[in-house]
Amino acid sequence: MFTITRLDSAPPESIDSQIMQMVVDYVTDISRVGIAPSNPLYPLYQYGVGHEVHQYVQAMDGSRGFAVELIVALDAEDPSIVSGFLLYLPVQGDLQACSVAYMAVKADRRRQGIARAMVGNMLERYPHAELACFVSKVPYFAAMGFQVLSARGPQVLMNTRDYQTEGLLAVLDIAPIYSSVEVRQIHAYLLNQHGKRAMTDAEKQRDRHLDQLTRQARLFVQERQRLH
């Protein structure tokens, strides 16, 4: 069993570190790139996406000028163990709206209703919620009450209503993370480990995969609209 807790200020280090470990473990699901573990660029995205989430968690202190909220699922028997997390952004100018930024549930705790419970907790407060997911996850979120709105790059945009909020969604600029010294150092290490050709192939593989996901999302939405 588990308990659901909503946080609107930065979590203690014990919770934060477990969230970061989950991001590293499940970066394929959390990343908007869908990077595969077999791709040599995988460690770079583990760092990059981990840093993205870390920055949003830090922004919970209000220092970035916009709201960030976090829901965690804690193990009922041992509340020091985090079983899942949902980080979302309330929309400015619309008290009912929010946007899901990142969500993960530990592999050994899946199919126990944790994600549904976290989303349900969020919807109690923000009934007009939006998220973007890969085509493969659409039925999962549709079962939670989300409907398809449009394609957004490699993902499908879903919402609990049939329209987007007119409020303002403030997000962090994550581009500097991927041009940071740390990312360049990781890239240099991977280049040294795998060689230039393998790294070039890895980038091509990532880009082909992204193109495939983007095409898949667009065709899926078109077919959906045609049927409706």
For the domain covering 2-227, report its CATH number: 3.40.630.30
Please provide the DSSP assignment of 44-67 as one string.
Answer: HHHHHHHHHHHHHHHGGGSTTSS-
What's the pLDDT at 225? Answer: 85
Task: Name the token pair of 55.
Answer: 């920055």
* pLDDT at res. 177: 93
Cα separation, 88 vs 129, whole angstroms: 9
pLDDT of residue 227: 83
Please give the biggest Cα pair distance in the chain: 52
Residue 167: exposed, middle, or buried by beta-carbon count in 10 A (0-12, 13-18, 19+)? middle
Cβ burial of 124 (10 Å; 0-12, 13-18, 19+) is exposed
The residue whose two tokens read 């091509």 is: 204
Backbone angles phi, psi at 103, to 5 degrees: -150, 140
Domain ranges of the chain: 2-227
Q: How far apart are CA 5 and CA 221, in angstroms?
A: 34
List, for the chain, all residue ranges whose pLDDT scores fall below the cut of 70: none
